[in-house]
Amino acid sequence: MNYWFYSGGWDPYGPGIVLTAIFHVGYLGVDLFFALSGYVIASAYLEAFRRPSRSTYMHFMIRRFARIWPLHAATLLLFLGDPACRAPSDMAGNLLMIQSWGFIDHATCNEPSWSISCEWFAYLAFPFLAWLLLRSERRWAALGVAALGLLGLGVLTWLNRGSSLDVTFNLGLARAACGFTIGAALYRASAAMKPRLAFDACGIVIIAALGGLAIVGAPDLLVVCLFGPLVLCIALAAGPLRAVLGAWPAVWLGEISYSLYLWHHLVINGLKSLGAEIATPAAVGLVLCLIIGIAALSRRWIEQPSRTRVIALLSPTPLMSADRPHAGL
């Protein structure tokens, strides 16, 4: 949905003015994902790195590699000979998932996959982050690490001429590292907390505040400041917020979210190359249904089977006890 709003597909002065304002900053959804990813990965694996070993690291990396690389590689097959991969280094960088590490100075191949490259870097660096977070049992120390991540986003905004956080292949690696660190640190700080209804109320207030900030055109940094608390509230919710996000439609969408993310750009560009006009609400709705359908098939026939096979191929021993599935991650 953000694609059409952000590209001006609908008239910003028409009836959709409120949604237009919100979706015009939809690129910040990636920052929410990084914070959520950091929180979830820390919740699943942090304790496993309390006594790190080569075996622990290999188990972790194999499962994270199997989660993101096979589908990413499958989508790259559609870019063989495409101008978007205009040099051999473009395809090589994408296959190695290093296309956003500063080696390539332009967007390449399946453009949304820049964040996959950054996520891969976050996985590689996670053992160091885990060591940092586990050095102290005091909650304030983890909050200090989260504050450093937020400070990093502030510096990133300044480097981007103080305008926005909409950076990808150029400064996207720093953007992802900061967001991931915030999420992981907040998990460490809140690990002993119990779910409470107060977190539902706080989460709902934050969601409303985010909508308001988008409408008034607040600075990106102010919006992103609320993502960490929002992830924390979602994780510790015990009432209506938990019920809504735990309902099967939300869970199912979370399960297909990775496929949805990697296929949406391909589908949209493919339809446009065929001369399709995608500018009305009805057209957007139809294409959205098509993308969701493709994502569901992709998860069933590409993502899940390839993940299982890669793990079986690369793993010398059974799964880590800490390894458990999380929707969309």
How far, in Å, CA of 23 to CA of 4, rounded? Answer: 9
Element (H, E) at 185: helix 172-190
Q: What is the phi/psi pair of residue 196, to 5°?
A: -145, 155
pLDDT at 215: 84
- pLDDT given for residue 132 in this prediction: 95
What does the pLDDT read at residue 321?
A: 41
pLDDT recorded at residue 22: 65
The Cα–Cα gap between 254 and 207 comes to 18
* pLDDT, position 276: 78
Quickly tell me which residue has 């050095």 as its tokens. Answer: 135
pLDDT at 329: 65
The per-residue pLDDT for 12 is 46
The set of residues, in sequence order, having a beta carbon less than 8 Å from that of 93 and lying 6+ positions away, is 99, 103, 104, 108
Which tokens is 178 given? 């900061």
Terminal-to-terminal C-alpha distance of the chain: 21
Structure tokens at 326: 């999380």
Low-confidence ranges of the chain (pLDDT < 50): 1, 5-8, 10-15, 319-327
